[in-house]
Amino acid sequence: MPTTDVPYHRASIGAEEISEVVEVLKSGWLTTGPRVQEFERAFAEYVGCKHAIAVSSCTAALQLSLDAIGLEPQDEVLVPTYTFAATAEVVTYFGATPVLCDSVSGGFNIDTLDVERRITPRTRAIIPVHIAGHPCDLNAIHRLGDHHRLHVIEDAAHALPAVYHARRIGGISELTAFSFYATKTITTGEGGMLTTENDDFAVRARTMRLHGIKGDAWKRYSKSGSWYYEVIAAGYKANMTDIQAAIGQVQLKKSDEMCKRRTQIAQRYMDAFGALDELELPPLSRETVDSWHLFILRLKPERLDIERNDFIEEMKRRGIGTSVHFIPLHLQPFYAIRYGYRRGDFPYAEDAYSRCLSLPIFPDMTEAQIDTVIKVVQAIVMEHTRAGIAA
Ligand SMILES: Cc1ncc(COP(=O)(O)O)c(C=O)c1O
């Protein structure tokens, strides 16, 4: 059995990111400044959107999106239960109610039919999440949004650079939120980007990301800036720094190359596991190009006598880092207690959660590391195939 340890993730940070950060540190301008503006312009061009607004996190980008649409306490927002905490918690910041929806059968993304069932006169928006970087059925979601006059805010934390019907995610919906968290497809340590086609939303988000100060608040300590500032709303502290933007600029240039490598790794996994009846591969679609932020494998319990948690322990024992994306929100104490959700409420999401584990998929993985992951998964499957079912 191979012994090389494989971490779950390692960010691809090279000499260029390091030297760009040093440049910023030497420049004397550490917070929001020219590097943020350059990063925003490059990002807008890359995804094909009108406005890109750099912020401190994807969570902040989602919060600014809900602020831009004017979310109010009586409102409801439809979000998948199968997502990270951030997608729904932002709705509660406004005193509004996140309404959870199930996943599609056989997949992880939000089910549009379930979304439709949960629309009420109080519904204001839908936040679809492109789980693992596999784009949601945006045409169906937009049809629903148009018909019921709902805003569509994409949580694209996983989806740079993903493509839906030949268009990059980020230039399709009214508002899209990206994450540059440490494990994401490009990283600035912590950070995010809000993209929008709407000029008013862009002005509002730029103002609100820095204390609700009108105009280019970040310039007030620069030579061309002025000491005078006007607070026109109670804003947030959600700006990105030039240090982060400098890393982001380099990462963005490498985005296509890193995605190509993740796609190769995903293909190696699919080639290796496709023939195993004990495993279920991630969903694919002809209309999308995935960013492969995650590779989520699902076990078939009817064919294996090992459960997901023990499978993960076995992987760990043999030196392979894994993770679980995600524990559905309705199973979390806060959502269960506050909104009364119960186990059994979202059967497809629960089924996916109970059987899933995410394998390492990062651009700097070596061929030997990929081989190791494949061999370990195959070995555990072989040791635990249910007697009588193996071919
Ligand atoms: C689906 C999803 N949405 C939002 C976020 C929040 O991103 P950030 O940490 O940049 O706020 C994450 C982070 O893991 C995520 O997975």
Residues with CB under 6 A from ligand 1: 57-59, 83-84, 86-87, 129, 155, 157-158, 179, 181, 192
List pLDDT tens digits, range 73-117.
Answer: 999 999 999 999 999 999 999 999 999 999 999 999 999 999 999
Q: Residues in the chain with pLDDT < 50?
A: 1-2, 390-391
Contact at 8 Å (CB) between 71 and 151? no
Instruction: Please state, in angstroms and rounded to a whole number, the distance separating the CA atoms of residues 57 and 36.
Output: 14
184 belongs to the catalytic site: yes
Q: Find the catalytic residue in 50, 184, 253, 254.
A: 184
Task: Report the chain's C-alpha Rg in angstroms.
Answer: 22
Protein residue with least CA distance to atom 14, ligand 1: 84
H or E, element range at 115:
helix 112-117
List, in sequence order, every beta strand (DSSP E) within 324-384: 356-359
CA of 155, closest atom in ligand 1: 3
**Torsion sign (Cα): 94, 100, 104, 108:** positive
Ligand 1 atom 16: the closest Cα is on which residue? 84
**So what's the pLDDT on residue 4?**
66
Cα–Cα distance measured from residue 135 to residue 357, given in angstroms and rounded to the nearest whole number: 19
Q: How far apart are CA 308 and CA 78, in angstroms?
A: 29
- CB atoms closer than 10 angstroms to residue 284: 11
Q: pLDDT tens digit string along 335-354?
A: 999 999 999 999 999 999 99
Q: What pLDDT is stored for residue 2 in this prediction?
A: 47
Tell which atom from ligand 1 comes closest to the C-alpha of 192.
10
Q: How far is the CA of 177 from the centre of ligand 1 (A)?
A: 9
Contacts by 177-183, CB closer than 8 A, 24 or more apart: 177/58, 177/61, 177/62, 177/65, 177/153, 178/58, 178/61, 179/57, 179/58, 179/61, 180/58, 180/244, 180/248, 180/251, 181/57, 181/58, 181/157, 182/11, 183/9, 183/11
Rounded to 10°, the helix 242-273/15-27 angle is: 170
Cα(188) to centroid of ligand 1, in Å? Answer: 13
The pLDDT, as a whole number, for residue 216 is 75
Tokens of 313: 């322990």
If you classify domain 15-251 with CATH, what class do you get? alpha beta
Write the residue with the smallest CA distance to atom 7 of ligand 1.
58
Domain with CATH 3.40.640.10 in the chain: 15-251
| Best residue among 84, 89, 153, 323 to mutate for probing ligand 1, ranked by most atoms within 8 Å of CB | 84
Residue ranges matching CATH 3.90.1150.10 in the chain: 255-384
Tell me, what's the pLDDT at 3? Answer: 52
Q: What is the pLDDT of residue 225?
A: 80
Q: What is the pTM of this model?
A: 0.97
pLDDT digits (tens, 9 = 90+) for 287-312: 999 999 999 999 999 999 999 999 99
The Cα 145–Cα 12 span in angstroms is 38
pLDDT for res 186: 98
- The residues with which 239 forms a beta bridge, in sequence order, are 55
181, 194, 291, 296: residue to mutate for ligand 1 pocket, most atoms within 8 A of CB: 181
Order of strands, sheet of 295-299, starting from the edge strand that comes earlier in the sequence: 279-280, 295-299, 356-359
The rounded Å distance from CA 76 to ligand 1 centre is 21
Q: Within 13 Å and on the Cβ side, how many CA atoms surround 25?
A: 7
What pLDDT does 236 receive?
Answer: 98
CATH fold for domain 255-384: Aspartate Aminotransferase, domain 1 (3.90.1150)
> What's the CA-to-centroid distance between 191 and ligand 1, angstroms?
10
Distance 159 CA to ligand 1 centre (A): 11
